Structure 1
Amino acid sequence: MALYGSHFFEAVQTSGFFPDGKFFVDGVPKNGLTPADIKAKFNATRRDPNFDLKSFVLDNFNFEQKEFTYLPDPNIPIAEHITRMWDHLTLAPVQPTAHSSLLPLQHAHVVPSPRFSEPYYWDSYFTLRGLIADSQRLIREGRIPEAFKLRQLAAGMVQNFADMIDEYGFIPNGARTYYLDRSQPPVFALMVRELGKLAPSAMTTYLPQMMAEHSFWRDGADQLQPGQAHRRAVMLEDGSVLARHWSDIDLIIGNEGDDAGEEKEWDADRHEPSRLREEAFHVDEKTAANSDTDAALALRAAAESGHDFSTQRWSEDGMTLETMRTPDILPVGLNALLYMNERIIAQAAGQAGERGAAGYYRQLARDRKTAMRKHMWDPEAKHFADYLWRERRKSPVRSSDTAFPLFARMASGKQARRVEQAVREDLLVPGGIRTTATETGQQWDNHIWAPVAMVAVEGLDNYRSPLGRLASADSPLAVPLKPIAACLRNGRGRLADIIANRFMRTVQNNYQMDGEIWEKYRSNGQRGGGGEYKVQRGFGWTNSAWAVFAERRREQQLRIPRPFRLPGH
């Protein structure tokens, strides 16, 4: 929003008129007014005794929020409910009007819930997985046009992100101008891989964009010396390079934003309003005012992580936003995803006949795997942990990110066994798998989330025995079991079944109570809470996880070797 940083913007965002700070920054000036026009009107009238700020805002801005038009009906089977929800969550291509904060999108896209009028980066990978899984069910039921529509939607989402990489050099947090300072966990290559299972040419088609995005995450790495950092790249004392989350807000507002070569001495300007998140301005202002660190940068970087927020992981004291130190942390999940990126790009480069590039990315993957096993594997705690690179030690926090190296197939068999034990000890709960074991009031602590469940289940599946692919006694689908099944599954296979089935039961139990599928759930399986906005219904990636797990269960029962393909795909 071009009004960001003005007295008018600060007055509105600190007024409390709108309980959700995102509401105002998604507004669009009325009647062709420019931001300069609005600031001039505001300055000319704000000292009038009869001036009312809320009325001024409503008189000069249009606010459009998508609302669901369906009536919740728990009597509709949940699988069919999910299929119907795609239409409610799908928005048309976007050509933004003047002074809108929306970014242009040439293809239809899926949003998480009515609160959001734009797609979000890492949400979209898990959503794409759900679209493809749901299309499988529709094909079996003979509903080919509906299945084809879902797959076209998935392909369009990939193209939208490719367009963003071409335009901005990376994929923003979400399709809004106020997200252009940061990205989210890099899953574009994973989306391309999934699309490539249906249309193999996708791997080479999107190779340039996969390479470009990887360069964004590794920018400056080749110029670093041990102990230095530049943007998202950090070189450790042994010369290995790993990644962190960051925000380019200082580059955007014209300040020097990296800390390559030395520790930046932040002055009073670290709390200047122009560095706070536009969509969460008021809460960030309060946090920054009570922080002795660069809270504005740490909050933005944590938003890039997708885990916004987990004070257990991102804060020094484990409890408060004021002590957040996100740029000082090298996350397990982020680096596992970059390892996957490097492997996928190497594969695509090989298919394209670019042998030199394929070898380069394979070497990057090997180097990252070696560094992660050295710096992130904790042999005493027996799990993968985030790395505190300035302190040269592993984080003591056990989080669900410990499953990411299994998801990426980069853990050893022994490490996988230890991770399985760690998850059972601290993270397995009645509702599924939780993010962390401590309640902090933040939504990414001690909560159950769809992407966490999907990563854990697929990661554990990667290390299970081939004979373990049979139905589980913990299934909410009440499928009869063969008595021998329990004897054939190994521990990781059983745990994957338990997590998937508990998650499905959590979603289904809540659906039967209120006809809704929720953004997140508490560890006991009830509707979730916490965070900067009320818990959302809808919900894109939760629908997807249920659909993916249902398809997984069916494939276990019938041993289907691979997805059906539509004609021409």
Structure 2
Amino acid sequence: MEGLICVIFFFFVNGPRGVCTELLATPKKLKTANDEVLVAADIPLEPNCSQPICLGPLSQIYCSGRLIHTTWLFGMQKTCPGDMMRKSPGLVLELFTNLTYPLKREQFQKFCTENFANISYLKQANLVDWTKEPENIRRLQDTKLKKFARKLNELWKVLAREFVEQVHKTPELFPILPVSNAFIVPGGSFQIYFYWDSYWINKGLLFSNMSTTVRQILENLASVVRFHGFIPNSGIVQLSRRSNPPLFTQMVADYYDTTGNRTLLKEMMPWLDQEMLWWGKNRTLEVKLPSGRKYRMYQYRALSNCPRPENYLIDLNNGLNGTGHPEFIWSSIASACESGIDFSTRWFAHQGKYAETKYSIRTNDIVPVDLNVFMAWNFATLANFHEILGRSKKADEYRKLYKNLRKAVDEVFWSESDGAWFDYDLMEQKLRSGFYPSNVFPLLLSGYSARITKKVLDYLLGSGVLDFKGGIPVSLNKASLEQWDYPNGWPPLTHLFVESLRLSRDEKLVKIAEKVAWKFIRTAYNGMMNPKKGMPAACWEKYDIRYDDGRPGSGGEYPVQQGFGWTNGAVLDLIYKYGIREQYVVSTTEPVNLGTLSANGKQFIILVIILFGSLMFWLLTLFVLHLKKFSNIKDEKLQLVEAVRLLDNEW
């Protein structure tokens, strides 16, 4: 709280730590959504940062600068600036600049009302290829699993959106980048298209046999690349200078594997190549190991270094009171958001002042395992795509990129002593220990020896991450209050964890993948179909994996959300892999056992039992008949002996 008051009371000037130097006039006491804070608006304020959150005419209205600072000071950030401007961006900014100080709340409220409107720029969309019972649901044999899949399939209609006509007519008045086709929103407060969410959403749509909708989403993302040169975090302008884990190529791969549509593949290739060029130009660095070896690798490193408008005061506080220069802290916060893992102790200092807290965030000092795996994965996939299209030279270029990065992943991240891959700390020049699901993501690249997979197996068994009822945690840091830490389990990372082990081809790791998949499916099932008393039935964005009753996770900067796009998709994809390919009976209470048989296995055992029972009945009948043949023998023992002898001869 002291940090927040410092932020509000003082004016920030240039200096090594953004030192507070000038006391403002007597403040007024007002309430924000979360805290009672002292505010004063006697002079216009803005933090000292050099790279704004977004660019263009909307930057000083929606992203950075005095207007954002003022709306947070008055506790009006939920409604101002609004979802649409009533006037041109230039005029709105001019009218704000002309406001006189000291600025009263009523005066600022009048400005907001006259210049902004809070209307929805989205409407419910009709999904042309949605069906009540797609083929994959019909193929499910387990009744409970089938009902659950039907529920998830229904949610696609609930989460389908498209932009209203006015957005397409006057896009300059809206803080968004509109796309032409319908799309699926995550749900809850996330009412726009998001980048990496779409990877799992598309998997779920493909389960639901909705390849037309998937194609339209891919076309939307291609248009975003055409506009920006890359795919931002989401479609709102506030998130337009940071990206997300680059999974666009894998989305196209999933679609192509399902449909074999070479025409769309050819249409997508320029935009897939363009995205790789953007990451190569803007997110690469040279990693020099203590041994002297150098590798070209990738890093989440957002371009902006200002406080985020969606959480402005907290970011200001973290920047002014953190362990690094404010611009470094603010940039590292944006980079963590770019990673999709916002926030986790994975990005914080593990020792020293403010260790394991956001005050010590240092994402920009960390080279992450997962991003480099995704890029190598993309290079291998793109090499295959170009080969399919007859472009051998381009395919060879991507193969070379893949080979070099694959080598770097193993040379930089692999710990022989631990048996896992860990993020690399540029400042300390060493690996950052601690469990995160990304520790096994290199297995997505396949081709590892039995020696390596045995070490990974030992690492997982020794870590304790497989011991939870509801799935796997995103970390084992039990002191953290961040949402991407213990005890939360997140569907996207759980899905990637399962896929990593499944693609390892190691028999024991593959079995663990199946076990984790069913734990997660059961947790999500209970949350939707059999919720804990007092909890709504919902598909949650995250779960508390200490339990398998489907209770949602907690922590972070906002309340837990339901919907939820990537959860629906991850669950449906795992149901396809483990509930259709290997029919399985789902239970809401029974513990998962590695020895549990699939339904196909159970059917075989039942068939054997029936055949054995029939055989026994036939033998018993013959025995009785033979026994009657020797009824003239008075000695009962001799009757039995003769009957058995005859039966043995017939057998």
Normalising by the smaller structure, the TM-score range is 0.7 to 0.9
- What is the CA distance between 1:500 and its match in structure 2? 0.7
Mapped partners of 1:133, 1:186: distance in 2: 22
Q: Deviations over 1:279-303 (max 9, x none)?
A: 2222211111112321011001111
Residue 481 of structure 2 aligns with which residue?
441
Mapped partners of 2:392, 2:517: distance in 1: 39
Pick closer, same or farther for the CA change 1:339–1:178 going to 2, 3 Å: same
Give the secondary-structure state (helix, strand or coil) at the position aligned to 1:249. coil
1:44 pairs with 2:99? yes
Residue 587 of structure 2 aligns with which residue?
none
2:396 to 359, 377, 381: 359
1:403 to 434, 440, 465: 440
Uncovered stretches (5+) of structure 1, i.e. residues with no partner:
136-149, 220-229, 251-274, 466-489, 561-569
Residue 276 of structure 2 aligns with which residue?
214
Residue 260 of structure 2 aligns with which residue?
199
Pick closer, same or farther for the CA change 1:332–1:515 going to 2, 3 Å: same
Mapped partners of 2:173, 2:89: distance in 1: 7
1:92 to 141, 153, 162: 162
Residue 567 of structure 2 aligns with which residue?
542
1:127 pairs with 2:165? no
The answer to whether the Cα contact below 8 Å between 1:105 and 1:160 also exists between their aligned partners in 2 is yes
Alignment-mate amino acid for residue 521 of structure 1: Y
Give the secondary-structure state (helix, strand or coil) at the position aligned to 1:414. helix
1:492 pairs with 2:517? no
Within 5 A, what are the aligned runs for 1:97-116? 97-116=171-190
Give the secondary-structure state (helix, strand or coil) at the position aligned to 2:173. coil
The answer to whether the Cα contact below 8 Å between 1:346 and 1:359 also exists between their aligned partners in 2 is yes
Residue 330 of structure 2 aligns with which residue?
296
The answer to whether the Cα contact below 8 Å between 1:316 and 1:324 also exists between their aligned partners in 2 is no
Within 5 A, what are the aligned runs for 1:290-369? 290-293=321-324, 294-317=328-351, 319-369=356-406
2:286 to 234, 241, 263: 234
Pick closer, same or farther for the CA change 1:83–1:59 going to 2, 3 Å: farther
Pick closer, same or farther for the CA change 1:363–1:33 going to 2, 3 Å: closer
Pick closer, same or farther for the CA change 1:47–1:33 going to 2, 3 Å: farther
Alignment-mate amino acid for residue 426 of structure 1: G
- What is the CA distance between 1:58 and its match in structure 2? 4.7
1:454 pairs with 2:495? yes
1:248 pairs with 2:303? yes
1:418 to 455, 475, 479: 455
The answer to whether the Cα contact below 8 Å between 2:81 and 2:112 also exists between their aligned partners in 1 is no
- What is the CA distance between 1:68 and its match in structure 2? 10
Pick closer, same or farther for the CA change 1:67–1:77 going to 2, 3 Å: farther
The answer to whether the Cα contact below 8 Å between 1:403 and 1:459 also exists between their aligned partners in 2 is yes
User: How many equivalent pairs are there?
Assistant: 480
Give the secondary-structure state (helix, strand or coil) at the position aligned to 1:296. helix
- What is the CA distance between 1:344 and its match in structure 2? 0.7
Question: Which structure has the larger Rg?
Answer: 2
Alignment-mate amino acid for residue 272 of structure 2: M
1:164 pairs with 2:224? yes
Mapped partners of 1:16, 1:533: distance in 2: 16
The answer to whether the Cα contact below 8 Å between 1:133 and 1:551 also exists between their aligned partners in 2 is yes
- What is the CA distance between 1:89 and its match in structure 2? 1.0
Residue 83 of structure 2 aligns with which residue?
27
Mapped partners of 1:366, 1:76: distance in 2: 43
Give the secondary-structure state (helix, strand or coil) at the position aligned to 1:173. coil
The answer to whether the Cα contact below 8 Å between 2:96 and 2:111 also exists between their aligned partners in 1 is no
1:553 pairs with 2:590? no
The answer to whether the Cα contact below 8 Å between 2:489 and 2:545 also exists between their aligned partners in 1 is yes
Pick closer, same or farther for the CA change 1:329–1:101 going to 2, 3 Å: same
2:409 to 359, 372, 389: 372
Residue 70 of structure 2 aligns with which residue?
11
Mapped partners of 2:546, 2:82: distance in 1: 35
Identity of aligned residues (%): 24
1:431 pairs with 2:497? no
- What is the CA distance between 1:443 and its match in structure 2? 0.8
Alpha-carbon RMSD across the aligned residues, in angstroms, is 2.8
Alignment-mate amino acid for residue 519 of structure 1: E
Uncovered stretches (5+) of structure 2, i.e. residues with no partner:
1-57, 126-143, 584-597, 600-651
* TM-score, normalised with respect to structure 2: 0.69
Residue 142 of structure 1 aligns with which residue?
none
Whose relative contact order is higher, 1 or 2, with alpha carbons under 8 Å and at least 6 apart?
1
The answer to whether the Cα contact below 8 Å between 1:346 and 1:357 also exists between their aligned partners in 2 is yes
Q: Deviations over 1:304-329 (max 9, x none)?
A: 10101112344444511111111111
- What is the CA distance between 1:7 and its match in structure 2? 2.3
1:79 to 114, 133, 149: 149
Residue 519 of structure 2 aligns with which residue?
502
Residue 530 of structure 1 aligns with which residue?
555
Mapped partners of 1:292, 1:39: distance in 2: 37
Moved more, 508-517 or 373-382: 508-517
The answer to whether the Cα contact below 8 Å between 2:437 and 2:475 also exists between their aligned partners in 1 is yes
Mapped partners of 2:206, 2:226: distance in 1: 25
Give the secondary-structure state (helix, strand or coil) at the position aligned to 1:381. coil
- What is the CA distance between 1:64 and its match in structure 2? 4.0
